[in-house]
Amino acid sequence: MKLEKSIELFTKGQKHLVGAVNSPVRAFKSVGGVPLFIDRAEGSKIVDVDGNEYIDFVLSYGPMILGHRNRKVEKAIKKAIKKGYTFGASTKNELKLAKIVCNAFPGMDKVRFVNSGTEAVLSAIRLARAYTNRDKIIKFAGCYHGHSDALLVAAGSGLATLSLPGSKGVPNDAVKNTLIAEYNNIESVKKHIEENKDIAAVIIEPIAGNMGVIQPTSEFIQELRKLTYENSILLIVDEVMTGFRSKFGGAQELLNIEADITCLGKVVGGGFPVGAYGARNEIMEMVAPLGEMYQAGTLSGNPIAMACGIATLKVLKKRNPYKDFEKTAKNLEKILLDAAKEHGVDLQVNRFGSMINPFFTSKKVIDFKTAQSSDTDKFKIFFWKMIEKGVFLPPSQFEAWFLSTELSVKDLEKTKKAINKAMKKVAEM
């Protein structure tokens, strides 16, 4: 397998880009070797600068749910580009996308579009504090909600991958109002509520995706919603990753809960930078220009991103691929477990909708602590063998794999063969 051009670009990139990348997980630090530089993509495939083709399970970490360069989505983008790139003024498509999103989420009357999941979450936190006149928030260890200061503590994925407990440059004052609870442990939440009377919000990934895919138990998530109601604490559900990936709408509906504030991104932009936060009227009317909670963005509601988002969601709703996703994920889970069993490798597989994650551990993975019991050296070997066999995975044990509508039977057969080869290699270590 040749990676000469990726190596050359990585070397050149060191001069003017930090680490030759624009996001730490792209640096491949947890798996070693040189990161791949991608040239193009179409359908279920992605191609690097050396011409190596891969079945794509990264999908830009989720948004490419229809695969790459969907015909109808691309047509909508080209039409929008002909009208201009950005105006710093309102456009009709902002209203269209807002209606689609609000209709997909019970309890969401209004939405505000931003440019990233990080922006959506930091704005939601500010809104919760404005609405409740309280300062503290509870987050869960291993859940990642973007890189804003108040939430960059006990986060998952990138920080876990790099073995960093937090980040330099985040002052103590920025996180003094952030309380850490344990995912799937309601007692850890109760303890904070008993000891703190000024909690504005609890923020949670309804299905964790940044410490690997981890579902909440029904008892935990129901009790969490009950506790927040009883204590006038807002529940912020971060569906940046899960939005539109398990149904047309959010995972919260499948879990039988309703958020006070919902954060979105990824699929809503269809591949362009989009984030959003939304809630019922009484909460959203706190946001400027209706209220005193200020948040703004010159590129928010960008016309190209709005066109891409509308087209993506329209195709997704018409196609309704969610039963097929469940079938494919179940099949992929069996392939992974069968290969692990055949080669005597300890493996757990968690999945939800079109998200799936193998963990190289014998322990059932239910929270950040159990996720960290995974053997990352085994994952490293597994990752590179999969790359060699033409399957592109997230370069971290703690990142979810994503499915697209373009994943074919032939793709799955090739993936199955790659998994068997990779698991055999793991067993030989």
Domain boundary among 261, 289, 318: 318
pLDDT exceeds cutoff 80 at 216 = yes
Query: Is 340 in the same domain as 251?
Result: no
- For the domain that residue 235 is a member of, what is the CATH number? 3.40.640.10
pLDDT band (50, 70, 90) for residue 93:
very high
pLDDT at 156: 45
Question: CA 309, 404, 119 angle in degrees (round to 5)?
Answer: 40
Q: What is the pTM of this model?
A: 0.94
Residues 37-52: pLDDT tens digits?
999 999 999 999 999 9
pLDDT at 167: 66
Sign of CA dihedral 138, 144, 146, 148: positive
* Residue length of the chain: 429
Query: Is 241 in the same domain as 141?
Result: yes
Between 287 and 151, name the one with better pLDDT. Answer: 287
* 425 catalytic per annotation: no
Residues 53-90: pLDDT tens digits?
999 999 999 999 999 999 999 999 999 999 999 999 99
Query: Is 290 in the same domain as 343?
Result: no
- For the domain that residue 345 is a member of, what is the CATH number? 3.90.1150.10
Residue 8 phi, psi dihedral angles, 5° rounding: -65, -45
Query: Is 296 in the same domain as 403?
Result: no
- Of 29, 136, 139, 266, the active-site residue reads 266
Which residues have CB under 8 Å from 113's CB, separation 6+?
A: 94, 97, 98, 274, 275, 276, 300, 301, 306
- The 10 Å Cβ neighbour count of residue 160 is 26
Domain boundary among 270, 302, 318: 318
Query: Is 265 in the same domain as 361?
Result: no
pLDDT exceeds cutoff 60 at 162 = no
- Of 54, 131, 144, 183, the active-site residue reads 144
Of 347, 351, 346, the residue nearest 328 (C-alpha): 351
Which residues have CB under 8 Å from 146's CB, separation 6+?
A: 116, 117, 118, 119, 120, 121, 122, 240
pLDDT exceeds cutoff 80 at 29 = yes
What domain count does the chain have?
A: 2
Both tokens of 332, joined, read 């992929």
Query: Is 307 in the same domain as 348?
Result: no
Domain boundary among 262, 295, 318: 318
- Of 54, 56, 136, 238, the active-site residue reads 238
Report the share of the chain in percent with pLDDT over 90: 90
* 266 catalytic per annotation: yes
d(CA 270, CA 64): 6
Query: Is 202 in the same domain as 351?
Result: no
- List the single range of 156-165, 316-325, 363-372, 376-385 with lowest mean pLDDT: 156-165
Query: Is 295 in the same domain as 326?
Result: no
d(CA 60, CA 240): 13
CA 149 to chain centre: 19
Q: Which domain holds residue 113?
A: 71-318
Burial 333-352 (b: 16+ CB within 10 A, else e): bebbeebbeebebbbbbbbb
SS3 197: coil
Query: Is 192 in the same domain as 51?
Result: no
d(CA 155, CA 7): 30
pLDDT band (50, 70, 90) for residue 150:
confident
Query: Is 88 in the same domain as 36?
Result: no
Question: What does the DSSP 8-state code read for residue 364?
Answer: -
pLDDT at 191: 95
pLDDT at 154: 55
Residues 367-418: pLDDT tens digits?
999 999 999 999 999 999 999 999 999 999 999 999 999 999 999 999 999 9
pLDDT band (50, 70, 90) for residue 165:
very low
Query: Is 17 in the same domain as 108?
Result: no
Query: Is 21 in the same domain as 170?
Result: no
CA 304 to chain centre: 22
Residues 230-270: pLDDT tens digits?
999 999 999 999 999 999 999 999 999 999 999 999 999 99
pLDDT exceeds cutoff 60 at 163 = no
